[in-house]
Structure formats: structure tokens, C-alpha cells
Structure 1
Amino acid sequence: MSTFLYRLGKSAYSKPWYFLTAWILILGVVGALLGVNGIQSSSEMKIEGTESQKVLDMLAEELPAAAGGQASVAFTAPAGERLDTPERTALILKAINDVYNMEYIINPAELAAQAAAAAGQATGANPSAATGQTDAAGQAAAGGQSATADPSAATGQTDAAGQAVASGQSATADPSAATGQAAATAQAAPYGPLLADGVPVPGVMLSADGSIALFQFQFTVQQTSLPSSVPDNIINTVTEVEQAGSGITAIPSDSLKSIPSIGSTEAVGVVVAAIVLFITLGSVVAAGLPLITALLGVGISVGGAFALSSIIQMNDITPILAVMIGLAVGIDYSLFIVNRQRRLILDEKLSAGEAASRALGTAGSAVFFAGLTVIIALCGMLVIGIGFLSTMALVAAVSVLINVLLALTLLPALLGLVGERICTAKARSKNVASVNKARHGFSHRWANATVKYRWIIIILVVLGLGTAAIPVTKMELGIPSGASANLDTPARQSYDIISKGFGEGFNGPLLLVAQPNNPADKISMQTLGKLVQELQMHDNVTLVSPMGVNATGDIAIISLIPKTGPTDTATRDLVQDLRDPASGLASGNDVKLGVTGFTAINIDMSSKLSDAFPIYIGIIVILSLIILLLVFRSVIVPIKATVGFILSVLATFGLTTAVYQWGWLHSLFGFDTGGPLLSFMPILVTGILYGLAMDYQVFLVSSMREAYVHGRRGNDSVVHGYDLASRVVLAAGIIMVSVFAGFIFAPDAMIKQIGFALAFGILIDAFIIRMTLVPAVMAIFGDKAWWLPKWLDRLLPNLDVEGDKLIAKLHAEGGEKK
């Protein structure tokens, strides 16, 4: 490996324009594809194989309108005033009609007209059935949602699917079956319909004090399939009610928010990285090269992902994650190689060209295997079988791969253009003094201290990280909702206003699908009414409304509003009760119940990810242990590296739980309210942290291995290797932490949590585990740390990561090349 990379580095250094031209062409192709295909992304987090997704897929096939996405807008009046004045009602009604007239929005008035026309055609065949269908459709249109006799109950539903089901699909709808239940619910509910000239405004509820109106509507497709202009047009339309003097405020729901974006705070991390590079490498030229390669790597990988986004569905967070990882590893890998080249120039008086080639042969080998470990950790997510998570992992892995290739090809080409200027004359003249100083500098003293007080350090680190990991036992997973958004955001304002006026459960409605246990049976209106009444008796149910039966009579749609919010444990328990065949709700009516909707999907996602987590950990640990075994040719070092990582990742999740779930130091990190952690964050962060942790393991311990291979023994090899690598590992750790920390203050809650976990995970692993615990443990084992059974030594290929064979070959060819 080292010999191949040495030749590659020599070729790139001597013929830089060949390599530069190749990468410029690749960037041009990516730019051209991006221009042709455009940028497409979505907020979809589809979890294949879960109960909620199966129900949603079935609805998409059988009743497409019932599977569309939902959204809402809350209208508020000034304190002590009402919205149902003629002037304000007229403004709200106009805005709602304008929304209903938009493309991709279900319009209940149009559905009612279609149902009336269908009823007219059926009059000759069965007048009574036609009349019942028309009445049901009219009530659904007037009430805004379901085919119930009482509009006040109908207006309470978040899912407008009933508009399509009752008015456009059902030929058997008989509202009388559920009338009593709906009326009773309406009497008990502290809200009713917003009336305009005595007629209910479709899809709008009014709170008991008249200060809050909730407009709920449904799209004809999922939000992920909507053009980006549709949510913007809706927001612009409903905010027109905020006319001078009206006093009305329109607050769109979180489902109408824009996609997460990268803001100015992320640029701070790049600035800090530039400063650290300058301090570490000592010149603007040397510091600029890692930044150039990292930015180019991010541009190619993220641009390429966007260029293919019309073919491969990509989540909104995917490119942001690729930027995070690409910047961090791109800078670190190039820094490691440039630092090794400068050290060879200054310490061994080699020419810049020879030093660059040798740096690629030695440090480049470590970069290659470090990158391979990160890629393995990311690709391990593919076994989980979740589409959007697999895409995120692949895009991030490609970003790492491209940055590794850039570090091994473009970087030596850039070094060839820079030539001897990589080290200034001032740096060369001060080298001897700096070397002597380094031998008695902080890193040398720190290494000796960790070796001397190794047992105390091990005990303190284990106790400290173990204490930090305690909150993990209380970690709750979910999707951050409006309940945990900042107080000044529309998402939080919408959540709080809906909760105040109608109850917290209206922020997380559930969509129930009832089907006969016997496929030959039908669901009668009597069965549906009885089922609705039994559901309404559940302790954690606020409102249940039947939304109709399809034309064939074998699928019934029911909307259910819990009392608790979408991320509450009680809501999760309710979903489990509804699905449980033994609960009596379904079995007593000879039907099977399916539960879907955004809330149910999030609950299922958290459950599936929790189940997949141990399998994922096992896969990446086994594969990475094999890589580390090949790199270090040691049994103890890979095991020690893995144990250290487990300590750091547990402490990381403990801190993340304390901050983002419990709300500790929330004002310091720029958020107002704690909530459940992002459901896929543990798997995502574990994969990334494991890969990056092994980066530092490779960088640091390969220097110790190199010192051991070249004749140093015992603690001397530990201290010497630490001296050689600690400066660059320290710089790399600071850069990583800075880049990831920039995302902590991003506007999106999901990005905040990921940025925090990665930043503090690297902080713990790089500075506490690798630079403190590792030398202490290595000192305990001494030379035995490099023990490898003879039979295994014969089986394993010698990858020569330290470049021992390369140096021997160069000596054999005529001594040290200058």
C-alpha cells in the first residue's frame, strides 16, 4: 500500500495539471448534470415494513385521496376579542376559499357537487341510496371533514380524507348510524364550527372563547410530492387576512415550513478551521490546501447527490449531513498529509517533492484506512433497511470517499504547484529550536504524565464518562415537533395555539382504517357507528369521527384525536392499544384496525430503529475490528479502541439527552424547550462517530506503531509516537468540533441535535479517549500491545501502513533521496 501511494504521490507531484484537469472535468460534469436535472429534495422519512406505512400504502392504492398529506392554519384574534365577527369571518372565508381553489388541495364543495351529480344519475336505480349518499356528501362538505350528521363534530377533524371518502367514494354512506355519537361528542367538546351567515365554514373550528379558529385541509398527494410553490402560495394566501385593522394573525402549521437550510453559523466552523490550520502549519499557503480540497470534495459530492436527486429521492437533511462530514474529514485528511510532508522537510531535510511522495506513502496509508473505516460505519446503515436513512448514509459515504481520493491525488498535485514554498525560510531556520522545544513541550509532558499516572487516569476517565452516560437510561426517541420548537417560531406558535384552543392531541391526529376480518364481509354503518362509540370511550381519546366507507364497503376510514400530544408516551401506548387484536376494540366488531398518520409513522420509526440498533452496532464493530487488525497487526489495540469508543458514545448520548431532552443549558445552545431526541440520531451519530474515532485511533496509534517498528520499545514508543502525532490530532479534533459545532445553532431542531452530538462526541473521543486514555492503556500493555498470534500473523497480509517496506526499498535503491 505505502509503495503504491508513494508512486502515486510522485506522479501527481511531478505532473500536477493532469490530476487538476481530471478533477476540474469531474466538477464540470457534476455542474452540468445539476443544471439539467435541477435540485430536488423532500421531507419524507418513509419507513418500509412498519404497520403505519403498510396502511398508508394500502390507502394510496385503494383510496388515494385518503393518503394525502395534511396541514393546518390557526387564526387568532387579539386578547379578549372574537374571530366570528362579520368582518373577520368574511376575511377568513375568502382566504379559505382561495386555498380550496388551489391545485393539489381537496375542495369539499367540489366533492359535494360531484357526489350530487352521481346521486342524480343513480336516482332511477335506487332513490333512497342516492339520497343518503347526497346527504352524506353535503354534510361532509359543510362540516369540512366527515360524513356525520352534526357539522360541529365534523369540523374537528384534521384528516380531510373523509371529504374524498364520504363524498367521492362511498355509495353506502348512512350518516344516521354515527349521528348520536357525533352529536354527543360535539356537545362535550369546547369548540364548534365557524359560521358565516349561519352556514359552517368548511374545515374550520372555532374555540369556545371565539379567539382561535383552526383551518384544517388535505392535499391530494403527500407533501413530499408537492411542488415547493404550493406551501408558499398557501402561506401567502392565508396571511392576507392580516390586513390593517383586522387584528387577525395567521399561523401556518409546521407541515408548511420550508426545508432545513445551512445558515451563517456553519461558516463559523470553517473560519475556526482556517485559523487552526494556519497555527498548525505555519503558513497561509499550507493552511489553504486542506480547505481547498475539502470545499471541492463537498462541492462534488453534494452537487453530485443533488444532480441525481430526480432519480434517487433524497431527504432534506441528507445534503446537510454530507456537508458536515465532508468538510470535517476533508480538512483532517489533507492536514495529516501536509503536516507529515512538512515534518519530513524540516526534520529530515528532504526536498518538497520527495517529502510529499513519502507523506502520501505513510500518512496517506493511514488516511486511506481511516476513510475506509468511516465508509464502513456509514454503509453499515444499509442493513437497517430504511430507505431515507440508507440514502443519507450512501451520500455521506460517497462524500468521505471523494475526500479520500482528493487527499491522495489532488492534494499532492497542489503540493507540486506550491513546491518548496510549502515551508517558508523562516520555518526552516527555526526548526532546530522548535524540535528541541517540542521535546520538553506540553505534548511531551502530557504523554509522560499519562504514562506515569496511567491507573489514576483510567479510573477517572471511566468514572467521569460513566457519570455523563447516566441520562441515556431515560432517553426518549421521536421526531421533534412544534412542542420543542423555539417560542418565536411559527411551528411552536401554531402548536401552542392549537393546544390552547382545542387540546394538544389536535397536533397529532391518528387515521384509522377498519377492514373486515373476513374479506367477503362488508362494514355496515351500524358496525362503524358501534366501533366509533367504543373508540370514543378510551381514556386517551378526545374525538372520534367516522369519515365514510369506500364504494365496495370493505374499508372504513376513522379520524381519531388523542388527548395527549404527538410525542407523549401516552399517545404511543394508545397506538399500541388500537393495534392490539386482544384489546377488544377490533375483535368485538369483527374487524382489524390499522393506524397511520404522521404521529403513528414517527412512533413506528422510533421502534424499528431501536430494534435495528444492536444489529447495526454489531456489524460495524466486527468489520472495523477486522480493518484495525489489518492496520495495526495487533489483537489488543483494536479491542481497546472499540471499548474506548463505547465509553465516548454513551457519554455523548447522555449529554445530548440532558441538554435536548431535559433542557439543561438550553439558552446556551439556542433553544427554548426540550423534547424527544431525533429517532434516527443514535444510529446516524454512532456510525459517524465510530468512523471518525477510528480516524484518530489510526492517526495516533499508527505513530506509536511506527516508533515501535523502527526500534523503540515500551513506554518510549508510546511517548515518541504521541509526540509525533498529538499536534496534528489536536488540530484535527479542534477542526472537527468547530465544523460540527457550527450546526448547533442551525434553525432546524434536527440539525441542532445532530451537530451537538457530533461536536461533543468528537470532543470526548479525541481529547479524553484518544489523547488521554489511549496512551495510558498503551503504557499498561507496553510491547505486549503489539502481540499477534503467529498463525494469525501468517494469515494476515502486511499492508505496511507505517511505510517500513517503503523506507527499506528506498535505502536499497541508493540511500535517502533528497
Structure 2
Amino acid sequence: MATYLYRLGKFAYRRKGAVLSVWIVILVLFGVGAATLAGPTTDSFSLPGTPAQKTQDLMAERFPSADDPMNALSARYVFAAPEGQTLDEPANMAAVDEVLAAIRGIDKVSAPAKVDPATATPEEQAGALVNPVLADAGLVEQMKAAGAEQGLPEEAALANAAALSPLSADRTVGFVTVPFDGGITDVDDTMREQIAAAAEVGRDAGLTVEVSGTAAAEMETPGGSSELIGIVIAAIVLTLTFGSLVAAGLPLITALVGVGIGSMGITIATGFADLSSMTPTLAIMIGLAVAIDYSLFIVSRFRHEITVTDDRAEAAGRAVGTAGSAVVFAGLTVIIALAALSVVGIPFLSAMGYAAAFTVFMAVLIAISLLPAVLSLFGEKVFAGRIPGLKSTDAEGDSDTPRAAVKFAGLLTRRPLVPLLVGVLLLGALALPATALRLALPTEATGDPATSARKAYDLVDEGFGPGRNGPLIVVADARDANVEAPVAFGAVVASLTEHDEVVNAQIVAVDEAGDTAQILVTPRSGPSDEATMELVDSIRGEEAQLQDEYGVSYGITGQTALEGDISESLQSALVPYLAVVVGLAFILLMLVFRSILVPLTATLGFLLSVLATFGATVAVFQEGWGGLIANPQPIVSFMPIFLIGVVFGLAMDYQVFLVTRMREEFVHGASAKDAVVAGFGHGARVVSAAAIIMISVFAAFIAEPNSLIKSMGFALAAAVFFDAFVVRMVIIPSVMALLGDKAWWLPKWLDRVLPNVDVEGEKLTRELAADSAGSEAARV
């Protein structure tokens, strides 16, 4: 591989015009594609095959007009009367009617029909946008009449009415659900402005009016300032590393080109696939960090090579052949780990993985092809623009080896057991909070308390109880029942009401055939509470008994059940995915280092980094330590798996750049401890700069308002810090020193079987040395 990359680097340097032209054409084509083929993003989540999704599919089959709770387009206006007043006072009722009149004028509102609140069903009332006070009065009368026909006591009928009523028991809070034509992807800024304007009508009249729902979701535009902050810090670090403004700018230029192409590619993909609005930001966050680092490694190696040879094309070829080989390997590990997210079987997570993998792929291509051409374009001015008083050093060269790194490595190897134990205990302690990890999808319950959607959620919680924000729908199928369908449905309802965590359970719809019923269940706990999912599990566990006795089967769906199943599926996939990544890491590192113990220690170090990152993230974002976020909440369900994929690649990145130099020194005759010190001295400066850049880029995203982006930025920054500065620069050198020569042991039979990938370019170096010797002999 190193030989091919050497030729590519040399070609790109010599044919800079052709290479630059190709990349300009690619950039233009992607720009045109992004401008013409882009589609909308969506934040709806689905997971085929889960129990809740199967039940949702059954409900869609038996009740074709039923909405999909994960994709239906609606808004919920929540009204609260002024302090000391109720909504049924004439002035407040009139204010609500004014809001409803404004709502009817919003584009895409489903045409409301005039209904009689005393006879219309709750669904018909919602479609007609009936005042909550009138809707409540009509509903109570309906339920009393229906209860009398069914022989229900008045108390039960009133409880059923309360569970459906849009007006709170104390008559201070009410809501109206507004249906819209179309789906989530049809929402635009004009609709959001109209929805907000209707709410202002009620506020001007003295009511508290908040709006939630898919149609009213406040769009966050992440990125921009965060990327800029990361780039500024990266520029400072690069300037300090190279002592040159020009050299510092090159990795930034090529990284921006790569990220630009990557982000435009993702924009094009939105026209052909459903992508989350968070996907581009996550991909840019990762792509920007790795792109700068990969270019940094190659420019640093180029800086060293021009001290060895006067032929700059040759220096570029050698830089790409050696450091570029490590870049390709590191990039492939990240790409494989991200693409492997597809094996989890969750469509939106697979899309995130593919998008991020694409940006990393572009970063690798840019580093090994465009960067040499840019180096050629600047020629001898590559390291111009020196900063007065700032020394330009060759981090790869022997004469300028950073003495601080050598001294630090010497301290580690002198008594390696002490730093090893300190590092392991530190990361172990940081990992402890991970035992309390809870996963959930982003919902209104976990939203920013300052948003209208969260305020609406809180008003409903206070006025109606937590369960009204996350009702469950039980779909009972009596086609194979051994009793009459109404009896079977009644048995299911009776079973549901026996649960202490169930406030109310009632049949709200029966299909035309009369053999399938929708049963609305109001839990006592909220949608994000663990008690709610425990209730779901308990209800599911009782199905077998009812099926044996009555022949009726049922399932649970609704947004709460759907999101809960997705979170549980992600959590159950966490350990298998981690096992796949760890196994992959071990095999890849065995190919690189031709050793068993080095990959083993590197993989265990990766596990320590991940666990410590999980612990720190849980402590800060779930438990609220440090006050970094205003509303502690469960970790976003897919963040841990996504984090594992990214950290895996980054960990291997630093392992390769540090330990391959140790291996090279050992192969060339140095003792095991001396090889650790020398290799550490060669690589520490560049790896430290690369890690600081990554930490800065990731940490800048903590300022984003989106909870997922914020937590992902923090987690990635923490992961890089733990892995680069604790695992790779403390634990691994200490372990290598303890193992001594045994670190490089590999059974002979395995040595013969394993292919030689030559990541460090050792074979290339020998070939170039032989060619140089041959040329010298010919001249003599």
C-alpha cells in the first residue's frame, strides 16, 4: 500500500494542475447537485420489526384512517387561564375562540367541519377545533349516556370522560389538537410562522398559550459558529506546531474542501432518502476533525522529508507513502466502524453512519491526493509566513526531537507500573456513572424548558397528569377469540385497569368488522419515565394468559411505546456492536503491529476510553453534574453506539501514529524500553497537536442548542482526551515498557498467515534506500 501511495503523492505533486482541476470539477458538480437535488430532512424515527411497530402496522391495516403517531402532522395548542381564573369564564372562552378562528386560516389545516359538541366524538371534535370547554361538556354527556347503555356506573363513565377530555379537572388548562394535511416533511417556515401567530392572538387576550406537535416543532439550525470556533482553535494549534502561517493554513484549506464536498453529498442524499436533520451536523463534526488531523500528519511528515531530500516531489511522495499509509488505515477503521452501524438494523442510524463515513472517506481522499497538489502549488513557500519568536521544529526528525516528550517517556518507562495503575484507576472511576445509563429518544419531555413545546408539555403534565402526554394504544384482535368480541375486549380492558400504573383504560374505536378494538390506556407516569416502559412490559407479559383464556391477542403501540421499543433495541444492540468493533480492532491492529499483546492492550485501552466517556457523559447530561445543561435527561438512544464507532477509529488513529514508530525503532535494534522512549519522542508532538485540534472541534459543538449535538460534542471531546492523553500517552507506553520484548511476540505460523500491510511504509523506506544506494554507486 505504501508504494502505491508514494506514487500517488509524487504524481499529484508533479501534476498539480490536473489534480487541482479534477477536484475543482468535483466540488462544482457536488455544489450543483446540492442546489438542485436536495430534499427535506425529517426527525421521525422508526424501527421495523419491534412489537410496537408491528402493532402500529396492524392498526393501520384494520383502521386505515388512523394516524401514524411518529409521522402524523399536527399541532397541539395548550391554553392556561390567568391566575385565579378558569377557562370557562366568558372572556377566556372568547379568547380561545379567537385563537381557533386564527388557526382555521392557517395553510394546510385540515378543513374543519361544523359539529355538535354534544354528539360529536372526540376525534370529530378535534377535527372541528371545538373549544375545550364545550368539548368537555359534550363529552361528559356522551359518556354518561354510553355508560347507562352499557350498565357502567356513573363514576366509571365520568372517569372515561376525564381521560379523554381536553379540559383539566380544575378547568384552568385546556388544549386543542389541530390536524394538518400532509406529513412531517411538508412543514415550512411559513406554516410555523402562522402557527405561532395564532398563539399570539390568545396571549394578547391574556391567556397563556403554548404550542407543541410535529407541525410546530422549532427548527434548530446547528453548526456555523461551532465549526468556526473549532477552525480558529485548530489554526492556532497548527501555527504553534509548524511555526508558519502558510503551513498552518494548508490542512484547514484541504479540510474545508473535503467537508464541503461531504456535506453537499449528504444534501444531495436528502433528495433520495429520509435523513435526520442532525445527520449533516454530526457528519461535519467528525469529518472536519479527522480531515484536519489527516492533513496535519502528512504535512508534518513532508516537513521532515524535505530535510532529508532536496527533491520536493520525492518528499511529497514519501510523506504520502508513509504518513499517508497510516492515514488510509486510520480512515478505513473509522469508515468501517461507521458503516458497520447498518448491522444494528436501524434505518436512521444506518443513514447517520453512512453519511459520517462518506465525509471521512472524502477526508482521506483529499489528504492523499489534493494535499500533495496544494503543497506543489505553494512550492518553497509552504513553510513561509514565520511567526517572530516562534521556533519552527521538525517533529519527525532526530535532531529536533522534543525533549519534553522524551523526558516524559523516560519517566513512564522508569517505573511503568505506577502510571499504568493511575491511568487505569482514573478511567475506571470516571466510568462508574455509566452503570446508571438510561437511553431515550429526544421528545418534548426532554426538550429545552425555554421552548414553547416544552412549556406546552409541562402545562398538560400539571393540568391532566403525566400520562396524558404519553398515552398507550392497545390494539386487541378478537378474530380468533373463543368468545364474542365485546366479551374479549372487556376482558382486556379489565386486565389493563388492574394495573396500579394505569389511570384509565377504555375502548375508543372498533373496526367495521367488529373484531378489532383500539383501547386507550392512560398511564400514571410520563412518556420518558422508566415506570411507563415497565408498564408496557407488564401488559405485554399478560397477553399469553388472555389468549389462552379468551383467544384474544393484542399489542401496544403509540408514540411512547414506539420510542421505548427503539430505545430498548438500541440498548440491547450496544454490547453486540461493541463486541464486533473490539474484535475488528484486534484483527486490524494485529495486521499492523504483527503482535498479539500490542493489539490486546490497545483494544483494552479503547474499552477504557469508551467506558470513561460513557461515565462522564452520563454524569454531566443525565445526572446534571457541573450544571452544563439546564435539564438533565436520558442519553439519546443512538448516541452510545454512534460514539463507539467514531471513538474506535480515532483510538486506532493515535495507536498507529505512536506505536508504529516504537515498532520501527525496535526492529532497527533498539531495546524495548528505548524503542518506547524514541517512538514516543518522535510522535508525541504531532499526536498531541492532532488530539488538541479534535478536542477543540468537538468541544465547540457543546454550545449548540440541540441536546444530541451538545452531548455528542462533549462525548467525542472527552473520548479523544481520554484516549489520546491517558490511554495512548500514559497507559500504552507503560504497558509496553512492562512487557518488554514480549510485546512484539507473534507465533511463527501466524506471522506466515497474516498479510503484511506495511502501514508505516517500512518496505517503501527500504526500497527507496536501495534505489538511493544504487544511484550513488552508479555515479561513482
- Partner-residue secondary structure (3-state), 1:674: coil
How far 1:730 moved relative to its partner?
Answer: 0.5
Contact 1:241–1:249 (8 Å) recurs in 2: no
Gaps of 5+ in 2: none
How far 1:76 moved relative to its partner?
Answer: 2.4
**The one of 452, 460, 475 aligned to 1:498:** 460
What is the CA–CA distance in structure 2 between the aligned matches of 1:178 and 1:765, rounded to whole Å?
69
Match of 2:289 in 1: 328
Match of 2:211 in 1: 252
Match of 2:53 in 1: 53
Contact 1:71–1:216 (8 Å) recurs in 2: yes
Contact 1:56–1:67 (8 Å) recurs in 2: no
- Specify whether residues 559 and 138 from structure 1 end up closer, same or farther in structure 2 by C-alpha distance, changes over 3 A only: closer
Match of 2:196 in 1: 236
The yes-or-no answer on 1:76 pairing with 2:80 is: yes
- Partner-residue secondary structure (3-state), 1:693: helix
**The one of 727, 731, 755 aligned to 1:797:** 755
**The one of 533, 536, 541 aligned to 1:575:** 536
Match of 1:380 in 2: 340
How far 1:414 moved relative to its partner?
Answer: 0.5
What is the CA–CA distance in structure 2 between the aligned matches of 1:714 and 1:27, rounded to whole Å?
48
What is the CA–CA distance in structure 1 between the aligned matches of 2:523 and 2:462, rounded to whole Å?
15
What is the CA–CA distance in structure 2 between the aligned matches of 1:528 and 1:569, rounded to whole Å?
27
Q: Which moved more, 1:419-428 or 1:637-646?
A: 419-428
What amino acid is aligned across from residue 415 of structure 2 in structure 1?
Answer: Y
TM-score (norm 1): 0.86
Contact 1:136–1:175 (8 Å) recurs in 2: no
TM-score (norm 2): 0.90
- Partner-residue secondary structure (3-state), 2:702: coil
Contact 2:402–2:685 (8 Å) recurs in 1: no
What amino acid is aligned across from residue 437 of structure 2 in structure 1?
Answer: M
What amino acid is aligned across from residue 606 of structure 2 in structure 1?
Answer: F
Match of 1:655 in 2: 616
- The residue correspondences of 1:422-433 to structure 2 (distance < 5 A) are 422-424=382-384
Q: Which moved more, 1:462-471 or 1:428-437?
A: 428-437
- The residue correspondences of 1:417-816 to structure 2 (distance < 5 A) are 417-424=377-384, 439=401, 441-516=403-478, 518=480, 523-524=485-486, 527-528=488-489, 531-532=492-493, 534-582=495-543, 590-666=551-627, 669=628, 671-815=629-773
Q: Which moved more, 1:27-36 or 1:330-339?
A: 27-36
Gaps of 5+ in 1: 114-133, 157-162, 167-173, 193-202
Match of 2:99 in 1: 95
Give the aligned length.
762
Post-superposition Cα deviations, 1:763-786, rounded to whole Å, max 9, x if no partner, equal 111110011111111111223222
**The one of 361, 364, 375 aligned to 1:401:** 361
How far 1:189 moved relative to its partner?
Answer: 8.7
Match of 1:129 in 2: none
The yes-or-no answer on 1:274 pairing with 2:235 is: yes
What amino acid is aligned across from residue 782 of structure 1 in structure 2?
Answer: G
What is the CA–CA distance in structure 1 between the aligned matches of 2:775 and 2:189, rounded to whole Å?
63
Match of 1:361 in 2: 321
How far 1:528 moved relative to its partner?
Answer: 4.1
Post-superposition Cα deviations, 1:599-632, rounded to whole Å, max 9, x if no partner, equal 1112101211122222212222222322212222
- The residue correspondences of 1:55-454 to structure 2 (distance < 5 A) are 55-68=55-68, 69=72, 71-99=75-103, 105=109, 109=113, 137=120, 140-142=123-125, 152=136, 175=146, 184=155, 187=158, 205-219=166-180, 223-229=183-189, 232=192, 235-242=195-202, 244=204, 246-253=205-212, 255=214, 256-263=216-223, 264-346=225-307, 348=308, 350-424=310-384, 439=401, 441-454=403-416
Post-superposition Cα deviations, 1:668-709, rounded to whole Å, max 9, x if no partner, equal x2x212121111111111111111111111111122122223
What is the CA–CA distance in structure 1 between the aligned matches of 2:438 and 2:153, rounded to whole Å?
35
- Specify whether residues 568 and 642 from structure 1 end up closer, same or farther in structure 2 by C-alpha distance, changes over 3 A only: same
Match of 1:32 in 2: 32
- Specify whether residues 412 and 808 from structure 1 end up closer, same or farther in structure 2 by C-alpha distance, changes over 3 A only: same
Post-superposition Cα deviations, 1:124-173, rounded to whole Å, max 9, x if no partner, equal xxxxxxxxxx9975565347799xxx9639979xxxxxx9xx9xxxxxxx
What amino acid is aligned across from residue 787 of structure 1 in structure 2?
Answer: W
Q: Over aligned residue pairs, what C-alpha RMSD do you find?
A: 3.3
Match of 1:171 in 2: none
What is the CA–CA distance in structure 2 between the aligned matches of 1:182 and 1:282, rounded to whole Å?
85
Contact 2:412–2:733 (8 Å) recurs in 1: yes
What is the CA–CA distance in structure 2 between the aligned matches of 1:422 and 1:182, rounded to whole Å?
87
Post-superposition Cα deviations, 1:289-328, rounded to whole Å, max 9, x if no partner, equal 1111221111111211211212111112211110111001
- Specify whether residues 440 and 372 from structure 1 end up closer, same or farther in structure 2 by C-alpha distance, changes over 3 A only: closer
What amino acid is aligned across from residue 136 of structure 2 in structure 1?
Answer: S
What is the CA–CA distance in structure 2 between the aligned matches of 1:611 and 1:74, rounded to whole Å?
37
What amino acid is aligned across from residue 706 of structure 1 in structure 2?
Answer: E
What amino acid is aligned across from residue 381 of structure 2 in structure 1?
Answer: R
Percentage of pairs with the same residue: 42
How far 1:271 moved relative to its partner?
Answer: 1.4
What is the CA–CA distance in structure 2 between the aligned matches of 1:783 and 1:708, rounded to whole Å?
9
Contact 1:153–1:182 (8 Å) recurs in 2: no
What amino acid is aligned across from residue 47 of structure 1 in structure 2?
Answer: L
- Partner-residue secondary structure (3-state), 2:739: helix
What is the CA–CA distance in structure 1 between the aligned matches of 2:60 and 2:105, rounded to whole Å?
23
What amino acid is aligned across from residue 141 of structure 1 in structure 2?
Answer: E
Post-superposition Cα deviations, 1:227-258, rounded to whole Å, max 9, x if no partner, equal 335851562343232454x1123211264323
Q: Which moved more, 1:62-71 or 1:38-47?
A: 62-71
Match of 1:20 in 2: 20
Contact 1:485–1:672 (8 Å) recurs in 2: no
What is the CA–CA distance in structure 1 between the aligned matches of 2:317 and 2:745, rounded to whole Å?
31
What is the CA–CA distance in structure 1 between the aligned matches of 2:407 and 2:589, rounded to whole Å?
28
- Specify whether residues 702 and 210 from structure 1 end up closer, same or farther in structure 2 by C-alpha distance, changes over 3 A only: same
- Partner-residue secondary structure (3-state), 2:626: coil
How far 1:178 moved relative to its partner?
Answer: 8.2
Post-superposition Cα deviations, 1:404-442, rounded to whole Å, max 9, x if no partner, equal 011010111111101121224969996689979955632
- Partner-residue secondary structure (3-state), 1:772: helix
- Specify whether residues 629 and 578 from structure 1 end up closer, same or farther in structure 2 by C-alpha distance, changes over 3 A only: same
What is the CA–CA distance in structure 2 between the aligned matches of 1:87 and 1:218, rounded to whole Å?
26
Q: Which moved more, 1:383-392 or 1:609-618?
A: 609-618
What amino acid is aligned across from residue 593 of structure 1 in structure 2?
Answer: Y
What amino acid is aligned across from residue 250 of structure 1 in structure 2?
Answer: V
How far 1:97 moved relative to its partner?
Answer: 4.9
Post-superposition Cα deviations, 1:24-66, rounded to whole Å, max 9, x if no partner, equal 1112221222222223210011111101111223333443431
Contact 1:178–1:546 (8 Å) recurs in 2: no
- Partner-residue secondary structure (3-state), 2:585: helix
Contact 2:244–2:385 (8 Å) recurs in 1: no
What amino acid is aligned across from residue 756 of structure 1 in structure 2?
Answer: F
Match of 1:116 in 2: none
How far 1:207 moved relative to its partner?
Answer: 2.7
